[in-house]
């Protein structure tokens, strides 16, 4: 009996598994060479010729146009990692790929995928437990430690030469935006400036708005400024003119224009009466209003972005008002200085000396656009790890130390598991060693030799022993100052395991049309409810959106 439409493709059993595993592994393979301090970069060119040069796992995978559904599940691993921690995106994907690779061998020797999945899950749980036991405590007071963590996250990412300086800025930035509610790194904004060297990057405790004052007659700088935030327009609405004016003689027109001017003047007066020295306006400002504002000595900025208004509110303590009729002195915020300054040839408004910054801006300088972009991505990772460290207070040594240690401990644990799951736990242990192995490969070292050294040192109880990618020696990573937050590793293991298990459990791929695209969005209305339901289910499995059509 034929239940599938002619166009659909179906792959089942071993074939489906092997197709998905191959796709997942291919994704991991594509970022593998970027791992670690000696990892290489990728150049990605999009269809319109835009170029991105990066070492950042999640960026590479997002830029690549991946549309195989199983491959997309691996891409999602890096995206989760990016959202949760910010760093470790390559690590997570490389582990997922290796879990699939190890599974392939076991499936070939007839271990059932469900058994494998169970073993992997058990191993992942145990791994997280072991890591939590081994993690080292750090306190928020230990600034030096935080700087080291910030710096490790930037290793090998184009920020090398100024890593120490940038790490200090990152720690300052995170500490500045921390409050009772926690840390929101969105309050750290990054202004990229092409020109100058990375070393000259700086942190401004306050907000920089990428705008200029609207009128040259306004002050360049205001000290001890009362700041108003108005999310509206300093204009008289056009529609009112259309609706009300029916001009019969010139006097009438003049009267009307006078009336309009009066309205604008009133708006400006309300701001001036409330005591505003500076106003950020969300929409436009009429020429006449600009003139009145300048007359009042008010520095005004138009078309401020919503996000800027929010940041300014947080920094200055102002309330964003939507209607000028309501504005009062208490709605205004305060800044010690508001000034228009030149940054690499562009004029920006700096709002500084705010009571409690809570919003800071990093001015990131670099020789070329590509350099600055990549440094920004490194900064992003670095902000993430400092935040996570402050939240959890737990770190691990880097350089493949935790993975090597886990592999040893999990092999012991496997004996206690017994049954066929034992093989899966052992495979999991082997898979984790892909990290030290890849770090060695990428550093041009012999991966077997390095792994043997590492295992021996861990066997002897040296938890912190990791691979120094620069010298090839196995050294104590903690003493060397190479540490990473615990959560980078636990999150990587968790998402990698979930994705691998999900892929392994699939034994049937039913696609409307071929897997490379076609047949997307079949709008033929008569295929009823059931096929839609199937499509929804597949979409939930990641990346198969658009495949639910005729079936």
Ligand X SMILES: Nc1ncnc2c1ncn2[C@@H]1O[C@H](COP(=O)(O)OP(=O)(O)O)[C@@H](O)[C@H]1O
Determine, following the binding rule CB under 6 A, whether residue 384 of this chain makes contact with ligand X. Answer: no
Residues 353/200, Cβ–Cβ less than 8 Å: no
Round to whole Å and give the CA distance between 267 and 167.
46
What is the pattern of x (binds ligand X, CB under 6 A) and - over residues 427-446?
Answer: --------x---x-------
Smaller CB distance to ligand X: residue 214 or 477? 477
Q: Please choose, out of 21-29, 112-120, 151-159, 201-209, the segment that lies near ligand X by the rule CB under 6 A.
A: 151-159
User: Who's near 480: CB < 8 A, 6+ residues apart?
Assistant: 399, 466, 468
Binding site for Mg ion (CB under 5 A): 87
Smaller CB distance to ligand X: residue 85 or 511? 85
Residues 493/486, Cβ–Cβ less than 8 Å: no
Q: What's 182's DSSP letter?
A: B
User: Who's near 76: CB < 8 A, 6+ residues apart?
Assistant: 495, 499, 542, 543
Q: Please choose, out of 2-10, 33-41, 129-137, 341-349, the segment that lies near ligand X by the rule CB under 6 A.
A: 33-41
Q: Which two tokens stand for residue 355?
A: 């009571």
Round to whole Å and give the CA distance between 130 and 108.
30
Q: How far apart are the first and last CA of the chain?
A: 14
Smaller CB distance to ligand X: residue 90 or 102? 90
Q: Which among 380, 389, 489, 292 has a CA at the least distance from the CA of 55?
A: 380
Q: Please choose, out of 88-96, 141-149, 448-456, 523-531, the segment that lies near ligand X by the rule CB under 6 A.
A: 88-96
Q: Which does 91 bind (CB under 5 to 8 A by kind): Mg ion, ligand X, none?
A: ligand X
User: Who's near 253: CB < 8 A, 6+ residues apart?
Assistant: 245, 247
Which residue of 469, 500, 509, 547 would you call a contact of ligand X, by CB under 6 A? 469
Determine, following the binding rule CB under 6 A, whether residue 91 of this chain makes contact with ligand X. Answer: yes
Give, to the nearest 10 degrees, the angle between helix 163-177 and helix 143-154.
120
Round to whole Å and give the CA distance between 81 and 525.
39
Smaller CB distance to ligand X: residue 30 or 118? 30
| Backbone dihedral angles phi then psi of residue 150, each to the nearest 5 degrees | -60, -40
Number of residues that bind ligand X (CB under 6 A): 25
Determine, following the binding rule CB under 6 A, whether residue 69 of this chain makes contact with ligand X. Answer: no
Determine, following the binding rule CB under 6 A, whether residue 89 of this chain makes contact with ligand X. Answer: yes
Determine, following the binding rule CB under 6 A, whether residue 482 of this chain makes contact with ligand X. Answer: yes
Which residue of 24, 69, 86, 88 would you call a contact of ligand X, by CB under 6 A? 88
Minimum distance of ligand X from residue 131's CB (angstroms): 13
Determine, following the binding rule CB under 6 A, whether residue 484 of this chain makes contact with ligand X. Answer: yes
Determine, following the binding rule CB under 6 A, whether residue 374 of this chain makes contact with ligand X. Answer: no
Round to whole Å and give the CA distance between 27 and 90.
11
Determine, following the binding rule CB under 6 A, whether residue 478 of this chain makes contact with ligand X. Answer: no
E strand or H helix at 226, and its extent?
strand 221-230
Whether 11 is catalytic: no
Determine, following the binding rule CB under 6 A, whether residue 57 of this chain makes contact with ligand X. Answer: yes
Determine, following the binding rule CB under 6 A, whether residue 398 of this chain makes contact with ligand X. Answer: yes
Determine, following the binding rule CB under 6 A, whether residue 35 of this chain makes contact with ligand X. Answer: yes
Whether 114 is catalytic: no
Whether 89 is catalytic: yes
Q: Which among 348, 222, 230 has a CA at the least distance from the CA of 296?
A: 222
Whether 56 is catalytic: yes
Give me the residues that bind ligand X (CB under 6 A), please.
Answer: 34-37, 39, 57, 87-91, 152, 155-156, 398-400, 435, 439, 466-469, 482, 484
Q: What is the set of active-site residues?
A: 56, 89-90, 381
């Amino acid at each position: 009996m034929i239940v599938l439409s002619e166009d659909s493709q179906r792959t089942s059993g071993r074939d489906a598994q092997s197709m998905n595993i191959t796709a997942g592994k291919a994704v991991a393979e594509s970022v593998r060479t970027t791992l670690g301090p000696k990892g290489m970069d990728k150049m990605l060119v999009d269809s319109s010729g835009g170029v991105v040069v990066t070492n950042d796992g999640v960026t590479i995978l997002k830029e690549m146009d991946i549309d195989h559904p199983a491959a997309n599940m691996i891409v999602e691993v890096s995206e989760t990692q990016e959202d949760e921690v910010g760093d470790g995106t390559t690590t997570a994907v490389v582990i997922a790929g290796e879990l699939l690779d190890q599974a392939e061998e076991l499936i070939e020797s007839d271990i059932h995928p469900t058994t494998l999945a169970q073993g992997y899950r058990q191993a992942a749980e145990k791994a997280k437990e072991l890591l939590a036991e081994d993690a080292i405590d750090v306190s928020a007071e230990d600034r030096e430690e935080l700087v080291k963590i910030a710096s490790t996250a930037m290793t090998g990412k184009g920020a090398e030469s100024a890593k120490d300086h940038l790490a200090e800025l990152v720690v300052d930035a995170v500490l500045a935006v921390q409050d009772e509610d926690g840390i929101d790194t969105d309050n750290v904004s990054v202004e990229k400036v092409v020109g100058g060297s990375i070393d000259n990057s700086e942190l401004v405790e306050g907000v920089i708005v990428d705008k200029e004052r609207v009128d040259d007659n306004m002050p360049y700088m205001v000290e001890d400024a009362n700041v108003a935030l108005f999310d509206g327009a300093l204009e008289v609405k056009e529609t009112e003119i259309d609706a009300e004016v029916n001009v019969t003689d010139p006097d009438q027109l003049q009267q009307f224009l006078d009336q309009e001017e009066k309205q604008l003047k009133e708006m400006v007066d309300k701001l001036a009466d409330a005591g505003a020295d500076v106003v950020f306006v969300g929409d436009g400002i009429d020429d006449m209003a600009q003139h009145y504002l300048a007359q009042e000595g008010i520095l005004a900025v138009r078309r401020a972005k919503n996000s800027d208004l929010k940041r300014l509110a947080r920094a200055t303590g102002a309330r964003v008002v939507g209607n000028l009729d309501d504005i009062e002195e208490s709605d205004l915020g305060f800044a010690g200085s508001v000034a228009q300054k030149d940054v690499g040839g562009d004029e920006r408004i700096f709002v500084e000396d705010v009571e409690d910054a809570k919003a800071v801006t990093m001015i990131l300088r670099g020789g070329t656009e590509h350099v600055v972009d990549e440094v920004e991505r490194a900064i992003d990772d670095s902000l993430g790890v400092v935040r996570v460290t402050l939240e959890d207070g737990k770190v691990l040594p880097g350089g493949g130390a935790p993975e090597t240690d886990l592999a040893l401990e999990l092999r012991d644990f496997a004996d206690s598991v017994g049954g066929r799951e034992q093989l899966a736990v052992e495979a999991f242990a082997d898979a984790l060693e892909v990290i030290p192995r890849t770090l060695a490969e990428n550093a041009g070292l012999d991966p077997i030799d390095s792994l043997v050294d590492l295992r021996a040192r861990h066997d002897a109880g040296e938890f912190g022993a990791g691979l120094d990618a620069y010298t090839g020696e196995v050294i104590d990573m903690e003493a060397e100052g190479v540490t990473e937050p615990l959560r980078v590793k636990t999150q990587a293991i968790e998402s990698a395991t979930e994705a691998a298990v999900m892929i392994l459990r699939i034994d049937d791929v039913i696609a409307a049309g071929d897997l490379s695209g076609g047949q997307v969005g079949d709008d033929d209305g008569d295929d009823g409810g059931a096929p839609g339901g199937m499509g929804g289910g597949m979409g939930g499995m990641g990346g198969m959106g658009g495949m639910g059509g005729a079936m």
